[in-house]
Amino acid sequence: MSTDQNGTDAQEDTHINVADGIDHQVAMVMDLNKCIGCQTCTIACKTLWTEDGGSEYMYWNNVETKPGEGYPRGWEESGGGWQSEEHKERKTGEIPDQEDYGRAWEFNHSEIMYEGSDEPLRPRDGAEWGPNWDEDRGAGEYPNSYYFYLPRICNHCTHPSCVEACPRSALYKREEDGIVLVDQDRCRGYRYCVEGCPYKKVYYNTVSKKSEKCIFCYPRLEGEGPDGETYAPACAEECPPQLRLVGFADDEEGPIYKLIEEYEVALPLHPEFHTQPNVYYIPPYAPPQHTDDGETVDVDRIPRDYLRKLFGDRVDEALDTIERERQIVRQGGESELMEILQDKNPADQYRLEVFEDG
């Protein structure tokens, strides 16, 4: 555990802290250096969980381009979360407008498929905003422009402000694994949870008049498929570059614990919200800038100030650690960290049965 200049804030950001009354905390680590922005995870989640009426606009899993407005538009400035790590006073949040999520578009399928049109497939009128609308736009100037992809799900936080915001206790953390769920029988659609979540990962269904959110694919974790086996969430298993590790944050023999606690290279998104997310990210690493003539210059391509804004001050130490371990491998040495980040063994990627009561 680091005790650097960040003091107690740094401790809260990375220390494994299972909430009171929770046996074990399920967690996910995403390596942003592997994400290709293909949206396979988004489609896997969408087709599995959010095809019913009223959920057309919902993407429990989405991949957005950074720098960018995100989904919903401007979520990082929408408020919510806690005032401090004491979790005594919540921040005021906003409920995004429907336009900020983007409305479901209609495409010209019928003209192309049945009427002989040679027009390209494209949305009809009214497509003015949508999830990842600013795809691949990024920032910076040629030849040193930059962007990267940021996959997002509910963080199943240790101190979820959405749970605290609900006056009917309809949102709760499961005792056995810390997954945050909505009790559909108790929910009355007040939307305080939407307002309270600083990541805007709780959604309101205008048809059912209830809140809905990512459930970490808990039926798959419980082995409720046709063959009774346990599976990782669909977003993880369907990912072509296999950038996600799934397991328990308090599994001290697992890769997630090592990445968060021992190597301290897996970081929460926007730790200043003080909800203590249980989804962590390996920050993006990019080659340095170069001149118009192709000469390399010692300037970060992705500005560190921007990465600190997303992942906190500990991002510098994390990137330095990754670079140091890479150098060890380049020189012929061995690195447990690099082996963890490159491991493709499903038994290591998805450690979901290590606790008998998990």
What per-residue confidence (pLDDT) applies to 1? 38
- pLDDT, one tens digit per residue, over 39-86 is 999 999 999 999 889 999 999 999 999 999 999 999 999 999 999 999
Range of weakest confidence among 5-14, 101-110, 254-263, 334-343? 5-14
Spatial CA neighbour of 277 closest among 60, 15, 99, 4:
15
Q: Within 10 A of 242 (CB to CB), how many other CB atoms are there? A: 16
Are the CB atoms for 40 and 299 separated by under 8 Å? no
What per-residue confidence (pLDDT) applies to 6? 40
- Mode of pairing for the β-strands spanning 202-205 and 210-213: antiparallel
3 has pLDDT over 60: no
- pLDDT, one tens digit per residue, over 303-335 is 999 999 999 999 999 999 999 999 999 999 999
- Label residue 14 by pLDDT band (50, 70, 90): low
- pLDDT, one tens digit per residue, over 232-275 is 999 999 999 999 999 999 999 999 999 999 999 999 999 999 99
Q: What CA–CA distance (Å, rounded) separates 352 from 358? A: 8
- pLDDT, one tens digit per residue, over 183-223 is 999 999 999 999 999 999 999 999 999 999 999 999 999 98
- How many helices and strands in the chain, by DSSP H and E? 13, 10
- Residue % of the chain over a pLDDT of 70: 95
Spatial CA neighbour of 2 closest among 262, 358, 310, 267:
262
Q: What CA–CA distance (Å, rounded) separates 279 from 245? A: 10
Q: What is the pTM of this model?
A: 0.93
Question: Looking at residue 10, what DSSP letter applies?
Answer: H
Spatial CA neighbour of 36 closest among 151, 142, 140:
151
Q: What's phi and psi for 244, nearest 5 deg?
A: -110, 135
What per-residue confidence (pLDDT) applies to 224? 80
9 has pLDDT over 50: no
What per-residue confidence (pLDDT) applies to 353? 86
Q: What's phi and psi for 247, nearest 5 deg?
A: 180, -150
- Label residue 229 by pLDDT band (50, 70, 90): confident
- Label residue 104 by pLDDT band (50, 70, 90): confident
Look at residue 172 and give its three-state secondary structure.
strand
